[in-house]
Amino acid sequence: MSSLNMDIDKDPQLDLMTCSICFELYNGHDRKPKGLPCMHSFCLQCLEDYCAKGTQFPCPTCRMQFMVPSDGVDAIPTNILIIQLLETLIEKKNTFDTPGRVCTKHM
């Protein structure tokens, strides 16, 4: 996945695609969005740090308790919707940032 060079403060859509613990954009690697049972998502790296000493924790946002799977934090389901939205934004940005490219609507 390529990087997305946008100012998060200027694009409210990106707020949904950032971890609310570290404020970094999610990605498909160490910043994979992991969805808790309460539907809040946090990046893999932050959850690994947050859950390092135990198996049951409160969600950092709503405080609902969740159990870390026996296989570890990486076994928490990845929020595929966030990954797909981020890929769409990157694709859209790359399309309009390519010199000489014009959107098909304005050809």
Residue 11, pLDDT score: 65
Which residues does residue 78 pair with via DSSP β-bridges, in sequence order?
A: 34
CA distance 48 to 66: 14
Quick check: 31 pLDDT over 90? yes
Between 4-18, 40-54, 63-77, the lowest mean confidence (pLDDT) is in 4-18
Residue 2, pLDDT score: 42
The arithmetic mean of pLDDT across residues 41-69, rounded, is: 96
> Are 81 and 89 a contacting pair, CB within 8 Å?
no
